Amino acid sequence: MCGILAVLGCADWSQARRARVLSCSRRLKHRGPDWSGLYQCEGNFLAQQRLAVVSPLSGDQPLYNEDRTVIVVANGEIYNHRKIRKQFASKHTFSTGSDCEVIIPLYEEYGENFVDMLDGVFAFVLYDTRTKTYMAARDAIGVNPLYIGKGSDGAIWISSEMKALNEDCVKFEIFPPGHLYSSAAGRLRRWYNPHWFAENVPATPYRPLVLREAFEKAVIKRLMTDVPFGVLLSGGLDSSLVASVTKRHLIETEAAEKFGTELHSFVVGLEGSPDLKAAREVADYLGTIHHEFHFTVQDGIDAIEEVIYHDETYDVTTIRASTPMFLMARKIKALGVKMVLSGEGSDELLGGYLYFHFAPNKEEFHKETCRKVKALHQYDCLRANKATSAWGLEVRVPFLDKEFINVAMSMDPEWKLYNPDLGRIEKWVLRKAFDDEEQPYLPKHILYRQKEQFSDGVGYNWIDGLKAFTEQQISDEMMQNAAKLYPHNTPINKEAYYYRMIFERLFPQEPARETVPWGPSIACSTPAAIEWVEQWKASNDPSGRLIASHNSVSANHANGHGNANGNGVVVANGTNGVVVANGTNVVMVANGTNGAAANRITNGKMEE
């Protein structure tokens, strides 16, 4: 994971301008502490802060073609770079071992129409001195962050993080995932156009082995590394499958030749938290070298301002979940590990959040998964990337592999639906795909463990402690004036107010607050899903444990004995016969967990 900054079309070419670009670029040094580089051609600057994971000795940036007329700075992992290198072996002389260098021959061969040929995650800027044009692109889902802005002199600024451009741009915004910006065309355009983007309901039958194979390939390709690595392991389904598949196939990889076949796993939590116990059990089963990190509520509270600075958000759920991850990342980096695999993305693709139990039909279910995947770059991708890159640690997310996404989103959503009569709990299609009796990937009770939100799994006292702390910090009078002080995305509770107060101090510009999405949500839903259950329009806490079906009926769900009705009531019809929640206790959050962001790109152009 690296940090890039490009300033293009500056009217000022002076040393003072160069020094300013360098100063802004250094704000990204946490993303790339291993090296830095800057290219300048007249009023065009391309800077990079490097985290060396692939080819540490020869991959410094900027990258150039043979006659140094094409220049690239990139933050990316291109998993098919060796295949592309072979394709251009007779046409291009590669000067580094960087996986991102393949961007140059692809551009020289295909112009700007090559981005879909890259298999990986990336954010890059390319400048062509021959035509004095440039292009920038971001990966399909937005795993790697990117922002675009305009300076008062008309220069275009493009940066991995907002903090490198917010003070120098009169307007700026999130660079949308799956898009490229062309200076020749003067606009943004979408390069990623998958079949599911139109939200039409697919009809491909569920094929468990196809889903399993796609995921295993996604994990294996992400073991491309020249530095020590590990896996984040919460003990839930997604991280446990990442760990299991990594452990199973590690011996087949070059990484094993360099670093051995022992796999390191990492978990963070309060003493006695659900994740610590579950992760230890999975680690023992898989035989990983397991590292368990503890934190206290006070440790987390003390880190919140740093978390908001690095995450560049005031979204409540994101900050709650980022804080333990931020603390863990520092510990992991201290052990000499520079890359980890993680389980983000599965819940969005497969409808794993508990509120999906109440989807009225498969059409609404599928549309909601589409909305969730489209918004990942503002939530889980942002959290996973920025909370770890704060300490120079790279996170890779195999569930967001392009081919795995295609398989998962092509499936008839009827198979993904929660259906107790057929014994199907959330993410049943994934659980079933890895339910191998002869060569088990995981113990059954782990394979069918119910979803926890990350911020809940690290320990319920973490959320309760945050609420108690912010209750003391923010007065009732402050809340009464919240709409006057913060008319845009007004905080609806004291915790949200506290985070917003810090954010505004760090990023006081109007465009900055507009980069953060907002809107009602229930346990990570989009605002549209709130309409599924009338009683969800009543609360302001985002915790997944507050959804009606959590915990008490999970065992019955696995055995097909639970049911959910349209009023948000979940009843366990098994031997315990427990009514978990009625309509008045099923809650909604209006803190913007997955609301759609106000977007200032119109018809593919950045507004003037």
451 vs 570, more confident? 451
Q: Give me the pLDDT at residue 541, please.
A: 63
d(CA 240, CA 245): 9
Pick the more confident residue, 299 or 538: 299
Question: Which phi-psi region, left, alpha or beta, contains residue 541 (left: φ > 0; alpha: ψ -120 to 50)?
Answer: beta
Tell me the helices (H) and strands (E) count for the chain, helix number first.
22, 22
Nearest-5° Cα angle at 276, 272 to 277: 80
- Structural contact between residues 417 and 362, judged by C-beta atoms closer than 8 angstroms: yes
Task: Give 589's contacts (C-beta < 8 A, 6+ positions apart).
Answer: 316, 317, 520, 521, 522, 523, 539, 540, 541, 542, 543
CA-wise closest residue to 247 among 212, 284, 286: 286
When the pLDDT of each residue in the chain is averaged and rounded to a whole number, the result is 89
**Per-residue pLDDT, 548:** 54
Reading the block at residue 138, the tokens are: 């971001």
Return the axis-axis angle of helices 316-334 and 297-311, rounded to nearest 10°.
100
What pLDDT does 544 receive?
Answer: 55
* Residue 127 near residue 71 (C-beta atoms within 8 A): yes
Helix axes 402-410, 208-221, angle to 10 degrees: 160
Cβ distance 232 to 331 under 8 Å?
Answer: no
Both tokens of residue 237? 């389904």
At residue 456, the pLDDT reads 64
Which alpha helices (H) appear in 335-361, and where do they start and end? 346-350
For 193-202, 248-257, 470-479, 526-535, which range has the lowest pLDDT when averaged over its residues? 526-535
**DSSP H/E element including 606:** strand 605-606
Do the beta carbons of residue 25 and residue 164 sit within 8 Å? Answer: yes
Between 142 and 603, the more confident residue is 142
What pLDDT shows up at residue 519? 84
What pLDDT is recorded for position 3? 98
Q: Which residues in 165-179 are b (16+ Cβ under 10 Å) and which e?
A: bbebbebbbbbbbbb
What single letter denotes the amino acid at residue 274? P
Q: Taking the CA atoms of 216, 222, 227 and 230 in sequence, report the sign of the dihedral they define.
A: negative
For residue 164, the surrounding DSSP H or E stretch is: none
- pLDDT above 70 covers a percentage of the chain that reads 87
Tokens representing 323 are: 């804080």
Percent of the chain with pLDDT over 90: 82
Interval 221-246: pLDDT, tens:
999 999 999 999 999 999 999 999 99
Least confident of 14-28, 133-147, 160-174, 582-596: 582-596
User: With contact defined as beta carbons under 8 Å apart, do 76 and 122 qualify?
Assistant: yes
CB 261: neighbour CB atoms within 10 A?
12
Q: What's the CA gap between 418 and 351, in Å, rounded?
A: 9
- At 558 the pLDDT is 37
Residue 210: phi and psi, rounded to 5, are: -65, -45
User: Is the pLDDT reported for residue 563 higher than 80?
Assistant: no
Question: In 126-137, which positions are buried (b, 16+ CB within 10 angstroms) versus exposed (e)?
Answer: bbbbeeeebbbb
Q: Are 107 and 117 in contact (CB under 8 A)?
A: no
pLDDT > 60? residue 546 = no
Q: Which residues make Cβ contacts (< 8 Å) with residue 459, sequence separation at least 6? A: 269, 270, 271, 272, 273, 274, 275
Catalytic site residue 41?
A: no
Nearest to 7 by CA among 17, 26, 15: 17
Helices (H), 142-181: none
Which pLDDT score is estimated for 557?
35
Q: Specify the range with the lowest mean pLDDT, choosing from 345-359, 365-379, 575-589.
A: 575-589
* Residue 312, pLDDT above cutoff 50: yes
Higher pLDDT residue, 527 or 389?
Answer: 389
Identify which of 41, 45, 42 has the alpha carbon closest to the alpha carbon of residue 19.
Answer: 45
pTM higher than the cut 0.85: yes
AA identity, residue 334: A
Q: 3-class secondary structure for 357-411?
A: HHCCCHHHHHHHHHHHHHHHHHCHHHHHHHHHHCCCCEEECHHHCHHHHHHHHHE
* Whether pLDDT at 587 is above 60: no
Q: Look at residue 451 in the predicted model and tell me its pLDDT.
A: 66
Q: 2, 100, 370, 381: which one is catalytic?
A: 2
* Exposed/middle/buried for residue 566 (C-beta within 10 Å: 0-12, 13-18, 19+): exposed
Residues 526, 531, 532, 533: what is their CA dihedral angle, to the nearest 10 degrees?
Answer: 110
Residue 490 φ then ψ, to 5°: -60, 130
pLDDT tens digits, residue range 570-579?
333 333 332 2
Nearest-angstrom CA–CA distance, 149 and 169 = 6
- 564 sits in which H/E element: strand 562-564
